[in-house]
Amino acid sequence: MPGILVAALFATALPNGVVLRPVANLYSKPSRDADVVSQAIYASNVAILEQQGDWVHVRTFDDYAGWMPGSELKAGPAYAAAGRVAEVRSMFAHLYREASVTKHEPLLTVPMETRLAVDPDSLGADEGNEWVAVRLPDHRTGYIQRGDVTFDPPKLTVPEMLEFAKRFIGLPYTWGGVSTFGYDCSGFVQMLERQRGVMMPRDAQPQADWSGQTAVGHKNLAPGDLLYFGSSAEHITHTGIYLGGGKFINATTYQTPTVHVDSLDDPHFARILVAMRRPK
């Protein structure tokens, strides 16, 4: 999540919390028996809206609200909102207690886009080294391999984003998923657009209705356009990104519950394609 979003979210008077699990589910109600509505990844900041017993109602950077157990959250100042930040660029990355992959098991494994505060005591010392020392949200020092992170996340062009999207083929579909541990359809599209600097709504219907996109027709469909599926334009339930040549990439439960490439000629998708959009 770009640093500018951190600053925008926490310019409010709401108290802040930092997620402590690699991927934390957000529930519609304060119960694990409730449905999952979205997720928040490790070290991300959330605004605390209210607390009910052991549960906390939070809002994520993309203005999405849900409940999570208080044990999965650390209340306090915004994390990695200033200073040098290492963002995980690999699909997954191990964090270790020391700069070694052999001495101990990983402290934890985090997904792509996890943002970690570089330990200020090590600034400059990591230059040219294989390892980066980071200060974790619980104040421990962790070590991550330099090859897993970037200090300057690139903003991708549309062709670069489409090529980047293919890295995710085979990842599992997960309802409410927003990370490389598993995406749902709109979480996958939202993540890919974020790589271009486009910050769009979380769910498929709000995405299709979003003023940041314009409608396009079949004849003008171009690679990078967003496809929306459902019973009508007012009842959209699925989304994907057009690759060109009648193909699109999506996180779906259709046939195999993974991220994969499908065809608009497939009768399953042809009959439910109801809207096409292009981010402005």
Taking only the tens place, the pLDDT of each residue in 228-243 is 999 999 999 999 999 9
State both tokens at 276: 């096409």
In angstroms, rounded to a whole number, what is the distance separating the alpha carbons of residues 189 and 170?
Answer: 15
Q: What is the pLDDT of residues 136-152, one digit of tens each?
A: 999 999 999 999 999 99
pLDDT in single tens digits along all 280 residues of the chain: 554 444 444 445 789 999 999 999 999 999 999 999 999 999 999 999 999 999 999 999 999 999 999 999 999 999 999 999 999 999 999 999 999 999 999 999 999 999 999 998 775 555 568 999 999 999 999 999 999 999 999 999 999 999 999 999 999 999 999 999 999 999 999 999 999 999 999 999 999 999 999 999 999 999 999 999 999 999 999 999 999 999 999 999 999 999 999 999 999 999 999 999 999 9
Q: How many other C-beta atoms can be found within 10 angstroms of the C-beta atom of residue 219?
A: 5
Distance CA 206, CA 101 (A): 43
The predicted pLDDT at position 9 comes to 47
In this prediction, residue 125 carries a pLDDT of 53
Residues 6 or more apart whose CB falls under 8 angstroms from that of 52 comprise: 30, 67
Task: Note the pLDDT of residue 60.
Answer: 97
CA 166 to each of CA 7, 155, 179, 261: distance values in angstroms, whole numbers, following the listed order: 31, 17, 15, 9
Residue found by looking up tokens 């101990």 in the block:
104
Residue-level pLDDT at 128: 63
Question: What confidence score (pLDDT) does residue 129 get?
Answer: 83
Could you tell me the residue ranges of all domains in the chain? 3-75, 91-150, 158-279
| Overall size of the chain counted in residues | 280
- Say which residue the tokens 């200090």 belong to: 151
Map tokens 């020391």 to a residue: 98
For the segment(s) 91-150, the CATH number from 1.10.3470, 2.30.30, 2.40.30, 3.40.50 is 2.30.30
Share of residues in the chain with pLDDT > 70 (%):
94
Task: Decide: 73 and 20 in contact? Cβ < 8 Å.
Answer: yes
Q: Are domains 91-150 and 158-279 of this chain identical in fold?
A: no
| Per-residue pLDDT at 10 | 46
Superfamily of domain covering 158-279: endopeptidase domain like (from Nostoc punctiforme) (3.90.1720.10)
Residue 244 has a CB neighbour count (10 Å cut-off) of: 13
CATH number assigned to the domain with residue range 3-75, chosen from the 4 options 3.90.440.10, 2.30.30.40, 2.40.50.140, 3.30.499.10: 2.30.30.40
